Chains A and B, each alone.
Chain A
Amino acid sequence: MSNIFYKEAVRDALREEMRRDERVFLLGLDIGRFGGTYKATDGLVDEFGEERVRDTPLSEAAIAGAAVGSAMTGLRPVAEIMYIDFTTIAMDQIVNQAAKLRYMSGGQAHIPVVFRTQEGAGRSSAAQHAQSLEAWFAHIPGLKVALPSTPFDAKGLLKTAVRDDGPVMFIEHKLLYNSRGEVPEQEYLIPFGQANICREGSDVTVVALSRMVLRALEAAAELEREGISVEVIDPRTVAPLDIETIVKSVEKTGRLVVAHEAYERCGMGAEIATQVMERGLYFLEKPVRRVCGRNVPVPFAPVMENYVIPGAAEIVKAVKELL
């Protein structure tokens, strides 16, 4: 095992997959010499060259489209969209083309493309650089969506994403790049649709996404000191979503909190709560609680940003309200 940064886990996954399969290549803004805005591709151009680690012009639609076109014709591109907020410019290629061409062509098209991006708030990036938009992509049939919360998950999930034969939205978190974690030396993959029970508990289930997983674990530790036992689940992928694990946990605890940074309205919390209601209404002792970003654009000033984006304290409060 080695203790490495999340950004290193991403880079190692890319490196290993590029060594393994020469069809894998990277494209995006500033990923070559510059090593990527968050240094996730640092050094890769030295090993693989500029053909396979391509700096692109500032053109998200063309980046995404080039990825789609090259994926359809024999290559396995990993396209980086610098901020998930910029996927808006590439939406047609991601949603109307990548997600649908296989279906519309009656199964002819293979589009093994990974769109790597990052999301999240917490460093005053303001409204257009701090969103969490996984719900948009989870909504689209044909797309898979992964959000790793640890270096271990990042590496295992990214390798799976590259080897997947369909389009994958791989969403990292800007404030997790410099988080550390244990990663095995030997190769491993994490399958999609397999949630991780990060912490076992018996009183309340907390399902959290991306960086909120860490907040949930902090909250759980604090609650344990008060004798409250919290089970923390990280779905790791929201499409496909491992609802079975979540429902099983709710069967045990009867109480569910869903936590994500994304805006509360129509976020993944709504989908998870509904699926739990559909499959496990009679396990619930109380209504499902959502601890989410408020329904406002993310503000710039730290005091406001902290108000809008939930943290461990909000999760603790929600858990207590359910008891």
Chain B
Amino acid sequence: MAGQPVCAAARELSAPTPDLMRSIHLTMVRIRRFEERAVELFMAQELPGFLHSCLGQEAVPAGACAALRDTDYITSTHRGHGHVIAKGLRLDRMMAELYGRTTGYCKGKGGSMHIADFSKGILGANGIVGGGIPIAAGAALSAKMRQSGQVSVAFFGDGAASQGSFHESVNMAAVWALPAIFVCENNQYAVSTHGSRQRVIPDVAARAAGYGIPGVTVDGNDPLAVYAAMVEAVERARGGHGPSFVECRTYKWLGHYVGDPGKYRPAEEVAQWKAADPLPRYERELAARGVLSPEESELVHAQVAREIEEAVEFARLSPHPKPEDALEDVVA
């Protein structure tokens, strides 16, 4: 049960339609371009605070959220732009939040690490490693008690899987058979700590067995593999069969935060993963399957480039909060 790779057949069983596949592609392009632009703006010192880029990891959120409904819940991490874009957030209001403007999703109060939109089931990116996992379990509990049919997804990294909150939440979700899906983006590093120093087991999904729940390890850079695993997990959850664990092996191109040179990673390793860029790889597959031609792909890129520029323009022109706005929204 531990860490089974998803085979090609399983991928097909999830039967993604061409529309869905193109939608996944669009999401990946949006995440890619948004992250690239955000990095540029950050390095140009237009964005305050920190930026944790998910460049290189786009396939995971794109594939995972494609299996979810609008009303399903997700919690995300400090590296959460991909998750929230994939769950349906607008690029302009996201950019405005990064700029700290009142038009941002959190009115400038949260910033990159805390983007939230409750109308889309996004219960917040979280600045505490592992902080969102218990909350996702709570949302799953709520869904179950209300019998709403919703599922709740906790995105987290391989480092978070060492947190007590992970253990407690997965266990509780298992005991109560909650409609939760625990999605671990294993990009093999927690800041500078390599996975081999984070755990003894090679795959995080091996822990699932310890809680009595199914766990799979998939190629996180293959969006359709991620999608397939999620579809199965969502079915289990919605069917009342309890939580699942989906580990997605992937890699982030930049360091922990933008500006971190990431010297703790061997240069060849980084180069290798960059060469295996999930986006062109997916585009090649879509072209081969006749779902999206290179020309059509170009158009998508161009469209997204325009969206990004509009988003930046929108953000730059948006008003700054008044200083006294800091005093609002503390209590209900």
Contacts and interface: CB of A to CB of B under 8 A. Distances in A.
Interface in A67-86: 67-75, 77
A106 B105 contact: yes
Contacts, number: 153
B159 interface: no
Contacts of A221: none
A56 interface: yes
B258 to A, nearest CB: 21
Interface residues of A, number: 47
A165 B140 contact: no
Interface string B155-168: 00000000011011
Contacts of A62: 134, 137, 165, 168-169, 171-172
A142 B326 CA distance: 13
B295 interface: no
A166 B332 contact: yes
Q: Which of A51, A57, A63, A103 has the most CB of B within 10 A?
A: A103
A96 B142 contact: no
B106 to A, nearest CB: 4
Nearest to A93: B134
B134 to A, nearest CB: 2
Interface of B: 73, 75, 104-110, 114, 116-118, 123-124, 126-128, 131, 133-143, 145-146, 152, 164-165, 167-169, 171-172, 175-176, 328-332
Contacts of B123: 69, 72-73, 109
> What are the 7 closest A-B residue pairs judged by CB atoms, nearest first?
A65-B134, A69-B138, A106-B107, A62-B168, A59-B168, A165-B332, A70-B142
Q: Which of A56, A72, A144 has the most CB of B within 10 A?
A: A72
B107 A75 contact: no
A39 interface: no
Contacts of B142: 69-70, 73-75
Given A69-B139, A92-B128, A61 B146 contact: no
Contacts of B117: 108
Given A66-B138, A104-B116, A92 B168 contact: no
Nearest to B105: A106
Given A102-B331, A106-B108, A106-B109, 8 more contacts: A62-B169, A65-B133, A65-B169, A70-B139, A73-B143, A106-B329, A109-B123, A166-B332
A101 interface: yes
B32 to A, nearest CB: 26
Given A64-B134, A65-B135, A66-B137, A72 B168 contact: no
Contacts of B131: 92-93, 96-97
Nearest to A141: B330
Contacts of A107: 107, 328-329
Contacts of B108: 106
24 contacts: A25-B145, A56-B172, A59-B169, A65-B168, A67-B138, A69-B75, A69-B136, A69-B137, A69-B141, A72-B135, A73-B142, A73-B143, A74-B142, A75-B141, A75-B146, A89-B164, A96-B131, A102-B330, A102-B332, A104-B114, A105-B109, A106-B329, A109-B118, A109-B124
A104 B332 contact: no
A89 B163 CA distance: 12
A22 B108 CA distance: 35
A60 to B, nearest CB: 8
Contacts of A97: 126, 128, 131, 135
Nearest to B110: A104
Contacts of A141: 330
Contact of B141 (A57, A61, A70): A70
* Residue among A60, A65, A70 with max Cβ neighbours from chain B (10 Å): A65
A129 interface: no
A274 B134 CA distance: 38
B139 A72 contact: yes
B101 to A, nearest CB: 11
A39 B114 CA distance: 39
Given A51-B145, A103-B330, A112-B332, A61 B134 contact: yes
Contacts of B169: 59, 61-62, 65-66
A60 B165 CA distance: 9
A306 to B, nearest CB: 36
A216 to B, nearest CB: 29
Contacts of B146: 74-75
